[in-house]
Structure formats: structure tokens, C-alpha cells
Amino acid sequence: MRWKNLVMLTAGLALAVSFLAPTAAQADTNHGCNFLQNIGPEYYGWDNGAGSFYFKSPATFDYSETFCNLGIPINGQFEVLSNSTDGCLAIDTTNGLTTVDTPAACALNGGRGYPWDRWTAISIRYHNNQLWMLRSAEYPGYCIHADTANGSTATADWVPCNSNDHYQWFNWDVGL
């Protein structure tokens, strides 16, 4: 009789705990915000507020623009959110650029956004520093890349991932 009561109690506790488990929407957690610095030209990520994403030189960057790692419950994928517009980095297949999707688009599907808003990270060690390549979850062979700097800005395109291309390496300490 004691075992039967213990089994019923254990099953009841397990059932109660399962209802306390976070849902997909609750699992969306911010793992930290920081500057998104490209190691190639050593420029910083910048959301211009009009849907475009660029890299700006340290001389023209105002250091208020940070990007946040927003985890989503899909195999280690995350969104990269702008702290100034709440938009998220996205692949634009019409022009080959990395752009900024709207906050509404980023929040769709229970906070999972669209597939082109999702990223995974590839770890790179360089001179004992932890760097990252940001790989598209929708196009897994493609990574964010800082195109050749043009004056004080560089466009952000997406190209085939290449771990030897330092224009695809990012210093982004956000708990990836």
C-alpha cells in the first residue's frame, strides 16, 4: 500500500511539474546584448531604422547600438535583435544583403519569427579570442559578411560561409 501511494504521489508531482514547464513563448530568453563588431574592417553593426543593416567605422559609431541574442526553442537557433528598433537581422534574398526585419515579423510564430530571421553560431578561436560566424538557419551554408568598407560604412551581405574569411568573424559576447 505504501508503494502504491508513493507511485501515485510521484506521478502526481510529475504531472504538476510538467504543467509548470515553460511554453515556447516563455522559452524565448534574452541571452545578452552587446556591440556586434566585425573583425574584418573592425566596424560595428548598425541598424539605420529603415530596414537596412550596415557596419560603421569606430570613428562614426555612437556606441549606443547593441544587438541582443534572443534564443528561440529550435535547435540552438536565435534571433539577433536591434536594441534601437526591436527589429531582427534577416536574409534578403532579393538583393543578397543582411537587412533588419520588422519587430512584428520577428515576433511571429510564438516568437520564432520567420526562418530567414533565424541564425546559428559557428565558434572561431583567433589569438585566444572567442569569435563567431553568424550562419543563416534558412540557408545554412551562408553567413553574414561585412563587404569591403566604403568610407565610414560597409554593407552587410551574406555569402557562403568560409572560416578563413575574417570579414565573417564577429566579436559578440552575448552568451552564445
The residues that bridge with 136 in the sheet, in sequence order, are 119
Res 17: pLDDT: 31
State the pLDDT at residue 114: 92
Q: How far does Cα 49 stand from its chain's mean position?
A: 18
Residue 63 has what pLDDT? 87
Residue 87 phi/psi, 5° resolution? -80, 165
> So what's the pLDDT on residue 119?
94
Instruction: For the chain, list the strands marked E by DSSP.
Output: 30-34, 37-38, 44-47, 53-56, 67-71, 78-82, 88-92, 97-101, 119-126, 129-136, 142-146, 153-160, 170-171
pTM score > 0.85 for this model?
no
Blockwise average pLDDT, block size 10, the chain, 176 residues: 39 34 35 90 90 91 89 87 92 93 91 91 91 94 87 91 94 82
Inter-residue contact 91 to 98 (CB < 8 Å): yes
Going along the chain from its start, the domains and CATH numbers come out as: 23-171 (2.80.10.50)
